[in-house]
Amino acid sequence: MDASEVAACWEANAETWTRHARAGYDRYRDGINTPAFLVNLPEVAGLNGLDIGCGEGFNTRKLAELGAAMTGIDIAPTFIRHAQEAEAVQPLGIAYMAGDGMALPFADASFDFATAFMSLMDMPEQHRVLAEALRVLKPGGFLQFSILHPCFSPPYRKVLRESDGTVRAVEVGGYFGAVQGDIETWRFGAAPADEKAKVEPFRVPRFHRTLSDWINLIIATGFSIEHMHEPTVDEATAEAVPDLADLRVTPLFLHLRVRKAV
């Protein structure tokens, strides 16, 4: 699957994705993934940042609220339109543009840092994305990104529950299988049934890599690994939001921060 096909999938997803995420149906993002990402983010106030695969701009706005001067880029024009509309309503000084993370339209050494919230694993040539991120970062700049955990969210993943609904285990498979654009179809689980019935499921291309694949790509690009994090939730959160209880058993996400040499 090439970049144009990936772009077509995300453009088709973008309208419903934006509406459902803004309605609070993306509980993994709101309940754990973004908060954990920001807790582990270095100080960005006063820095010039790039959000790669910014979607409708939710996380880009979070970074701007921390004091960063942000630019957001996404391959889906509908996401960019929604992000620009949100910027018009509440200006934070964010510049959004449609573009490909594998061919960033910026000069060398343009940014102090870059982020990629759950976007790199959806791009067909991750080595090109990493190389482009390295290119546009200033010496000493960092890239922090989150992905589905390669070990605990491979092509097959199933949460196993007891009869009372508590999570017993997470079953995984296909870790070593090469996946280059297989389409997964799904909806946000928290969306009401009548809302789900109104829309087509998301079609999301998967480009699964093993953990060693990711680490080797990072090293080969020239980044140094600075920090890793596997978000979980406490017992109280798991009880209050049962959709997140599987994170008490295995991580669903992997966060990494890598840095360009000075």
Q: What are the Cα distances from residue 121, in Å, to 63, 131, 181, 222?
A: 21, 15, 10, 19
Evaluate the CA torsion angle 30, 179, 217, 134 in order and state its sign.
negative
Tell me what pLDDT residue 179 has: 82
Tell me what pLDDT residue 3 has: 86
DSSP per-residue string spanning 223-258? -EEEEEE-----HHHHHH-GGGGGGGTS-SEEEEEE
Beta strand extents in 124-239 (DSSP E only): 137-148, 156-161, 167-173, 182-186, 202-206, 224-229
E strand or H helix at 151: none
Whole-number Å distance between alpha carbons of 168 and 111? 44
* pTM for this predicted structure: 0.95
CB of 256 closer than 8 Å to CB of 203: no
Closest CA to 108 of 131, 135, 128, 132: 135
Query: Other C-beta atoms within 10 Å of 116: how many?
Result: 25
Instruction: Tell me the per-residue pLDDT of 159-204, one tens digit each, with 9 for 90 and over.
Output: 999 998 889 999 999 999 878 888 999 999 999 999 999 999 999 9
At 10, give phi and psi (nearest 5°): -70, -35
Q: Count of H helices and E strands in the chain?
A: 9, 11
Whole-number Å distance between alpha carbons of 1 and 234? 39
E strand or H helix at 33: none
N residues, the chain: 262
Tell me what pLDDT residue 40 has: 97
Alpha helices in 23-142 (DSSP H): 27-28, 34-39, 58-65, 77-89, 126-136
Residue ranges, the chain, pLDDT below 70: none
Closest CA to 249 of 145, 119, 120, 162: 162
Tell me what pLDDT residue 178 has: 78
Residues 6+ apart with CB under 8 A from 219: 225
Whole-number Å distance between alpha carbons of 87 and 93? 8
Give me the amino acid identity at 138.
Answer: K
Closest CA to 119 of 76, 60, 55: 55
- Taken in order of first residue, the domains within the chain and their CATH numbers are 3-259 (3.40.50.150)
Percent of the chain with pLDDT over 90: 92
